[in-house]
């Protein structure tokens, strides 16, 4: 597996980023991976490498780059409940400053950068994200229906922009929700919005999970749920990217 640290030119400066992709010649489908609010760190690099090992070029940008290179906030090796007391208020300030307008400007830059990398093949890409990164991934897919064939988001506030926003989706979708984040009733409302969009999707609550369940460096981590995440994500990418899936025409 090959990795790189990169700088992505944006309308507002330079975003540092991590990329992982298979060794050897050839071009690979591109995946834009948005980190959770804690940002790029060893666990995110490991997840990018894992995904790249299945034949993808994975780009993980630091979407808080306006505040400095990753890690923007100093983090302990394992993030527990006591650590969150100090960290979360700092994160909320960054999240509140990261407006929808900034997200969309950055999405343009991130997709442009990803698709011109020499290791990335022609055709649509996928976007995936965790926690707040799942919302950014959703906004990216909504804004670029002609470029994004697959969207996956995990323990993410994907409905934050309202059902009307989801109606604009064209990508095939998987949403994996934490049990602590979403009631069955809220899940039903969210899935109605996906039905209205007419896209292929799975949207489900992962049993027994709390917010952040994919992140092995936090006390929210759930090993079984992380495996389920891969069991949902990899087939989605296989259908939509490796076989040349077209945005808007996923299997139902």
CA distance 69 to 16: 6
SS (H, E, C) 147-215: CEEEEEEECCCCCCCCHHHHCCCCCEEEEEEECCCCCHHHHHHHHHHHHHHCCCEEEEEECCCCCCCCC
Residue-wise pLDDT tens digits, 2-49: 999 999 999 999 999 999 999 988 999 999 999 999 999 999 999 999
Domain boundary assignment for the chain: 2-242
Q: Any idea which fold 2-242 has?
A: Rossmann fold (3.40.50)
Residue-wise pLDDT tens digits, 82-124: 999 999 999 999 999 999 999 999 999 999 999 999 999 999 9
Cα dihedral 230/234/237/240 (nearest 10):
-120
Catalogue the E-assigned strands of the chain: 2-10, 13-21, 30-34, 57-61, 125-130, 148-154, 172-178, 201-206
Q: What's the whole-model pTM score? A: 0.94
């Amino acid at each position: 597996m090959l990795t790189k640290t990169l700088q992505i030119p944006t309308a507002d400066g330079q975003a540092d980023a991590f990329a992982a992709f298979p060794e050897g010649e050839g071009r690979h489908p591109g995946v834009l991976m948005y980190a959770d609010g804690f940002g790029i760190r060893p666990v995110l690099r490991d997840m990018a490498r894992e995904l790249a090992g299945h034949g993808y070029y994975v780009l993980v940008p630091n979407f808080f780059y306006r505040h400095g290179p990753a890690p923007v906030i100093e983090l302990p090796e394992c993030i527990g409940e006591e650590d969150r007391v100090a960290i979360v208020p700092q994160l909320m300030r960054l999240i509140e400053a990261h407006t929808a307008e900034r997200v969309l400007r950055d999405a343009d830059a991130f997709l442009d950068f990803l698709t011109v990398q020499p290791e990335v093949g022609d055709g649509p890409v996928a976007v995936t994200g965790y926690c707040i990164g799942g919302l950014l991934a959703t906004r990216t897919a909504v804004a670029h229906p002609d470029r994004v064939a697959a969207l996956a988001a995990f323990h993410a506030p994907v409905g934050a922009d309202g059902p009307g926003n989801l109606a604009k989706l064209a990508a095939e979708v998987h949403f994996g929700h934490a049990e602590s984040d979403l009631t069955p009733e809220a899940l039903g409302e969210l899935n109605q919005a996906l039905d209205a969009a007419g896209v292929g999707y799975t949207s489900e609550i992962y049993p027994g999970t709390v917010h952040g369940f994919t992140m092995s460096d936090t006390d929210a981590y759930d090993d079984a749920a992380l495996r389920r995440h891969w069991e949902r994500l990899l087939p989605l990418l296989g259908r939509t990217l490796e076989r040349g899936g077209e945005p808007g025409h996923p299997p139902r």
